[in-house]
Amino acid sequence: MFGRLMPAKGKFFTLFNEHAALCVKGAEQMVALMTNFDDLELRVHAIEIIEKDADKVTHEVIELLHRAFITPLNRDAIHQLITRMDDILDLLEDAAQTISMYDIKAASTEAKRLAELCLGCAQRVQKAVGLLSDMGNARQILTLCSEIDRFESDADHVMRAAMSKLFREESDVRTLIKLKAIYELLETVTDRCEDVAKIIEGIIVEKARAA
């Protein structure tokens, strides 16, 4: 019996790591998209494929959660963690598809910076998730969570400055609406990364209390 139950505990962390790696790949594609619009449709398609792969991982986690008798973390925490991680790629896909749909021809400096901040957040999510299987890594994990919070704050500042500039300088209403939507989607990616960081912080606190 235990031979069937125990492997499932490690499988959760393997799936978390797979999903986090896909989040980084999606964010890398977004940065590449912002750098070279000549490859726009190729990058959009790549992000769509990555998002579908991440959906499969999410579904596998949920199914495993239903089957497993013993889980390495609180069941609600597992569900929240994989759901919020999935939101990261959903939003990256939304941003990529919106750029394509709106026929945007070039990225603004602010959009590029927001994409870079999305990548920075995703990379730290991946590192934090990769350390989560060992609570001896708690201090390092919390440091990474703090870095995600700082990146999210930076994204807030960039978006506010971008919106201010947009409403001051952009005379074409359609362009204004398009760019505003892109800024908001990219900034929300960093919000979801911060949500993941908070969930991870909660897991660390719960484990510390139980120790």
Mean pLDDT lowest for which of 2-11, 94-103, 164-173?
2-11
Q: Are residues 11 and 64 in contact, defined by beta-carbon separation less than 8 angstroms?
A: yes
Q: How confident is the model at residue 8 (pLDDT cuts 50, 70, 90)?
A: low
Domains of the chain (ranges, CATH numbers): 2-210 (1.20.58.220)
Q: Return the pLDDT at 4.
A: 42
Is the per-residue pLDDT at 1 higher than 80? no
* Sequence letter at residue 81: L
pLDDT above 90: percentage of residues in the chain: 85
Q: Return the pLDDT at 207.
A: 80
The model's pTM is 0.93
Provide the angle, in degrees to the nearest 10, between the axes of the packed helices 109-131 and 173-210. Answer: 20
Q: Return the pLDDT at 5.
A: 42
Q: How far apart are CA 101 and CA 185, in angstroms?
A: 14
pLDDT digits 0-9 by tens, 24-52? 999 999 999 999 888 899 999 999 999 99
Q: How many helices (H) and strands (E) does the chain have?
A: 6, 0
Tokens 């490859």 sit on residue: 39
Nearest alpha carbon to residue 72 among 20, 136, 138, 6: 6
Q: Return the pLDDT at 211.
A: 64
Q: How far apart are CA 51 and CA 78, in angstroms?
A: 19
pLDDT above 70: percentage of residues in the chain: 95
Q: Return the pLDDT at 6.
A: 44
Q: CB burial class (10 A; 0-12, 13-18, 19+) of residue 159?
A: buried
pLDDT digits 0-9 by tens, 70-115? 889 999 999 999 999 999 999 999 999 999 999 988 889 999 999 9
Q: How far apart are CA 158 and CA 137, in angstroms?
A: 32
Q: Return the pLDDT at 2.
A: 36
> What mean pLDDT is predicted for residues 136-146?
96
> What mean pLDDT is predicted for residues 152-177?
95
Tokens 């990364």 sit on residue: 193
